[in-house]
Amino acid sequence: MNGLEGIEKTTLSRFILDEQRKNPAAQGDLTLLLSGVQTACKIIESCVRRAGIAQLYGLAGSGNVQGEDQKKLDILANDVFKEHVASTGKVCIMVSEEEDEPIIVDNAFGTAKYAIAFDPLDGSSNIDANVSIGTIFSIFRIPNPAEIKTAADATKAIMQPGSEMVVAGYCMFGSATNMVLTFNGGKVHGFTLDNTIGEFLMTHPNISIPKDCHIYSVNEGNLILWDEQTTTYINKVKNPGDGKKPYSARYIGSMVADVHRTLLYGGVFMYPADKKTANGKLRLLYEAAPMAMLLENAGGAASSGALNKRILDIVPSSIHQRVPVFMGSYNDINYINELYHPK
């Protein structure tokens, strides 16, 4: 007995190093890149926690490419993420929700093996109310790093379907700070930031989503705009008939928080296409695809509904492309797919 029993020993850094050691050919580039991501998330968490005191709430007075108002924290998080990821020298291109054009890191052309897409602070509408928000990221491998010579080459290299992603993850700033990530084909692990030592510790190893669960999560204020299939599904879960218990509604309006709950408790999170938004609201490269990989690797499913594709199979046609999103417990997503595409 040395008094350390019961204290989790697996830090996020150690876990990532262990993953690197599984591949004898690995040269540590991804490890370094993830360490940049980790540092960025710790700094963003500190800014989020201090926002009220440091007068970081409110609008910055600008708008982003999606035509949405930018908050001061949106801009700060974007700057922090870019700085700490680009300085690793391991990415030649970054795509951010906050920037119209791809962010080109030309001093890493020819050598950087990776590309990253991110939403620096998702759930912006919740920032000023101190409701959970988070950072989402997806990392892709550059197919031929030596051939990247121009911005156009780098942009082409990141336009990959989610199924090619190397790592998907998010960091949620809630009552605690959780980093949840998965390597392609691997398990999903959750880490909690221990502020007393400044490290993420593994608290949720091998997350597995329940196959069924009675929770639905959607902005029901859009109901009159939905298509027949989405309407049928929601009516069914609210009125299952045969004396069955109706589902409970839970909607935070921060994808990170709604997906985090879905991973842990099960259920369905959705942002469908509707009569106003032909492809829904959520962006493929840095919202839908990374969350889809996390859900699938945890045993769930993620569908684009009417597009008749797994979200992970969609090849992006533009960096800010939107897609309809239905993700969560396997059996429910299967049922939604059957509604869209009856056999």
| Residues engaged in binding ligand AHM (CB under 6 A) | 68, 97, 119, 122-125, 219, 253-255, 258, 271, 281
Shortest distance (Å) from residue 49 CB to ligand AHM: 19
Name which of Mg ion, ligand AHM, none residue 219 binds, using a CB cut-off of 5 to 8 Å depending on partner kind.
ligand AHM
Residues 6+ apart with CB under 8 A from 52: 130
Q: Which tokens sit at 20?
A: 């690197």
Point out which span in 99-107, 122-130, 194-202, 329-337 binds Mg ion (CB under 5 A): 122-130
Single out the residue of 27, 255, 65, 42 nearest to residue 141, CA to CA: 27
Q: Which tokens sit at 73?
A: 């924290």
Shortest distance (Å) from residue 287 CB to ligand AHM: 7
Name which of ligand AHM, Mg ion, none residue 254 binds, using a CB cut-off of 5 to 8 Å depending on partner kind.
ligand AHM
Q: Which tokens sit at 58?
A: 């409110």
Task: Tell whether residue 45 is a contact of Mg ion (CB under 5 A).
Answer: no
Shortest distance (Å) from residue 168 CB to ligand AHM: 16
Task: Tell whether residue 274 is a contact of Mg ion (CB under 5 A).
Answer: no
Shortest distance (Å) from residue 224 CB to ligand AHM: 14
Burial level of 69, CB count in 10 A (0-12/13-18/19+)? middle
Give exposure, 247-281, as e/b (b: 16+ Cβ within 10 Å). beebbbebbbbbbbbbbbbbbbbbbbbbeeeebbb
Shortest distance (Å) from residue 326 CB to Mg ion: 17
Figure out which of the listed residues 29, 45, 74, 119 binds Mg ion, where binding follows CB under 5 A: 119
Which whole-number Å values give the CA distances from 48 to 1, 27, 190, in the listed order? 39, 34, 20
Point out which span in 62-70, 84-92, 113-121, 189-197 binds Mg ion (CB under 5 A): 113-121
Give the CA-trace dihedral at 209, 201, 45, 286, to 10 degrees.
-40
Task: Tell whether residue 98 is a contact of Mg ion (CB under 5 A).
Answer: no
